[in-house]
Amino acid sequence: MWQAIRVKVDYTKMHGAGNDFVVIDDRSKTFAVEDMAGIQAMCNRETGIGSDGLILLQSSGCAAFRMRFFNPDGTEVSMCGNGARCIARFAADLGLVESRFEIETAAGVLEAHLDGDRVCLRLGRWQEATLDVWIMDKYHLDMIDTGVRHTVMWLHDLDELMVMDLDAFGALIRHHSFFSPEGTNVSVAAVDEQGEVHLRTYERGVEGETLACGTGALAAARLAVVRGLCSFPVEVRCRSEEKLMVDDAEGCMVLSGRAVKMEEGVWSGGDRF
C-alpha cells in the first residue's frame, strides 16, 4: 500500500510590478516538474501560496543559471519577462551573481543588469508585428511574439480601458480558433497625452487578468511605436499602477522595473506517493 509523504520545499515569493511568483532554488533538480497538480496547488490563491506562476532556478552550462517557468495551471512556457526579472533578483540574494550576468531560458539567453531594486533585461530581437487582424468581424487586433504570443486591442481612452470586462473579453480571444491550438495572451491598451501606455493583460495559463505582464508590456510598447503612437523608450503603466520601462537596444527588447522579495517560507501542501 502506498503511503503519502509530505514533501517540504523552501520557497521565496516575489513580485515584479505586481506580477507575483513562487521562486525555488532547484539547482539540485529535485523538484517534480511533471507534477502539474502540485504546481497548481502551490499557485492556488485560495488554498496554496498563491501566485501568477512558479519559477525554478537551475544550473546552466551557458549562463549564470537557468530559469524554468510554469503557469498556475502547471504548463511550462518559454518566457516570462517579470518572472525573469524576479529570478535575477533572487539569484543575487543567493550570492550567485553580481550586477551583470546572463540567464538561460527556453526562449534564449538573456542579459540582466541589477541597479538597486530595479532589474533590467536585454532579451532577444524584436519579431515582426502583425497589425489589423479582425476577429469575428468585430475586434480589431495587433499581434506580436515577445517570447510568447501576445494580442493587443487598442482602446480610445483610459476610461474605456478601466471599465473593460477583460476576463470575458480575454477568454473569448484567448480561446478563439484563429489562435489555436496554443491560444494567445490578450491585452487591452490605451496611450495617454504624454505617450505613456496604460495596459491590462489577460494571461494564458493564468486564465485571468494579472496586475502586470512583462512580455505584455514589451508587446504593447512595440506595437505602439510601430503604430506611431509614441517612441522608445516607452513607459508602460500596469494594472498595479507600477511602471515598466521598455526600450530598444540595437534591435533587441529591453525591459526594466522593480523586482521585490515579498516573503520566504516552506511549502508542505503537496502529497507524494
Please give the Cα distance from 39 to 160 (Å, whole number): 35
Ramachandran assignment for 228, one of left (phi > 0), alpha (psi -120 to 50 degrees), beta (any other): left
237 burial (CB, 10 Å; 0-12 / 13-18 / 19+) is: buried
214 burial (CB, 10 Å; 0-12 / 13-18 / 19+) is: buried
Neighbours of 250 (CB within 10 A): 7
Q: Is 230 a catalytic residue?
A: no
**Selected catalytic residue, list 43, 80, 120, 238:** 80
* Antiparallel, parallel or unpaired: β 252-258 and 234-237: unpaired
Please give the Cα distance from 112 to 114 (Å, whole number): 7
Please give the Cα distance from 73 to 239 (Å, whole number): 22
Q: In the chain, how long is the greatest CA-to-CA distance?
A: 67
Q: Is 86 a catalytic residue?
A: no
**Selected catalytic residue, list 43, 86, 120, 213:** 213
Q: Pull the grid cell for residue 107.
A: 526562449
Residues assigned a catalytic role: 80, 213
